[in-house]
Every structure is written in structure tokens, then in C-alpha cells.
Amino acid sequence: AAAVVMDVATREVLAAVSYPTYSIAEYGQKYEELLRETRLMPLKARAIQVSYPPGSTCKVIAALGALSDGVVQLNTHFECTGYLLPNNRNRFRCWIYNQHSLTHGPQSIEDAIRNSCNIYFFRAGEKLGAARLCQWFEAFGLGRAAGTGLIEEAPGVVPDETWLRTYAKRRFQRGDEWNWSIGQGEVNATPLQVANVVATIASGEWRPVVLAREPDGAALGGRRALPLGPVRQDARCQRQRRF
């Protein structure tokens, strides 16, 4: 497990916890044993070094991206029937349908965030498209270091066309935007990055995190803040596949 607490205004990390951990007093004595533990990985600082599928935390990025690009409005409603594909009800389902065989019914974007409705965000991701969704992930700081200045920091994964060609040997395909809009599939982020996503929404700009400071008080690895404005649409986005 991992947890991060961050000051929204300054982006100072107030707490970054990783579990399981180890006793500093026994670190030298038990180093080899800790190193061999590859399942629980106590030597990993999970909040910073390990990236995970971010799950429903990605829905707020998809929501803001869809609103900003005008592909949905505050009063746009999508019907949650519990599943996305009428001919295949076993895939791309809403969590409430999985757990209780229920549906959310008509959902506005406010409803969908409150209920964490998968179906709404499948539709929003579909309207954005896979390439554009990746650009919004990048705008929120995914796929790059958050600015700690530590060489151990994991950048996470934004599975844009270049990443897919390099690591998955494929291009965008149907279902990518559905998976990624709810934080599944290839997209990965560290707990630190996810905390900064929420701080970015709260403040209106992406800022590098401050984990430690130099002796002169300067932030270690300090990078400049970036206003959260319209995201550039380049030729790659215009060429994305539509289904």
C-alpha cells in the first residue's frame, strides 16, 4: 500500500508512506534478506517508485478533458445500462452492474463523478478518442517525473502512439479509449502523480512536487509550473482512428 498527502498551494509532500517497510536500525543487517523479498518489495518506496493502473482517478481527467474540448456539456446525459456493448454484456461493464446487477440510469457528468459510473466515462472517452485522451493525461503530469529530483522516481505510462509502437507493437485500437478513460489497460501512474492530479484540478495549474529541498532552500529538481489551459491538438491527434 501507499499514501501521499500534499499541500495543494505549494505542492510540498507532507507525507509519503509505503508499506510494508523495514526497521532502519536493522537495514544493514537484513539488507540481503530485504533484497530477496520480491513479492512484498519492502525496499521500494511505492508512493514514488512504483506505478499502477490508476483506476477511477483517471475519470476526473477524462471529465475535464471532455468538458474543455466541448465533446460533452454539463447537461449531457448518457444512460447507464450496466454494460457498454449490447451484444457482449460480459465486457466493459459498470461496477454497479458487476456487483449488484443494477444500473445508474441517466447520468450527467456530475452524477457520473459522484457515482463513478463507468458507462458515462466509456462514452466520454469515446468522444475524446484515444490520442486526445493521452494528451490530457500528459497535461496532468502522467508519463513524466513529478519533479522530486530523485533518480528512482517512476514516470508512469501514457500509452500514446509512440509508446504503443515501441512497447506493444501496435497502434490505437478499439477499446483503448474505453479502458483508459477509467484508468485501466496500459495507462499507469504513481500514487504521487495521482495526488498531483487532484492538486492540479484544485488549483488550475500543474506544478512540480516538492519532496525535499537543497541547502539553500531551493526545491530539489525544481521545475516550473504550467497553467492548465487548452491542450495542443497536433497532427497525431487529428490522424487518430475512429470507430
Catalytic residues: 56
Residues linked to residue 2 through DSSP beta bridges, in sequence order: 18
**Cα–Cα distance for residue pair 81/83, rounded to 1 Å:** 6
> Could you tell me how far CA 31 lies from the centroid of its own chain?
33
What is the C-alpha to C-alpha distance for residues 214 and 195, in angstroms, rounded to an integer?
A: 23
66, 128 contact by CB (below 8 A): yes
Q: CA–CA separation, 27 vs 32, rounded Å? A: 9
Nearest CA to 76 out of 127, 115, 118 is that of 127
Most distant pair of Cα atoms in the chain: their distance: 63
Please tell me the distance from the alpha carbon of residue 214 to that of residue 98, in angstroms, as a whole number. Answer: 50
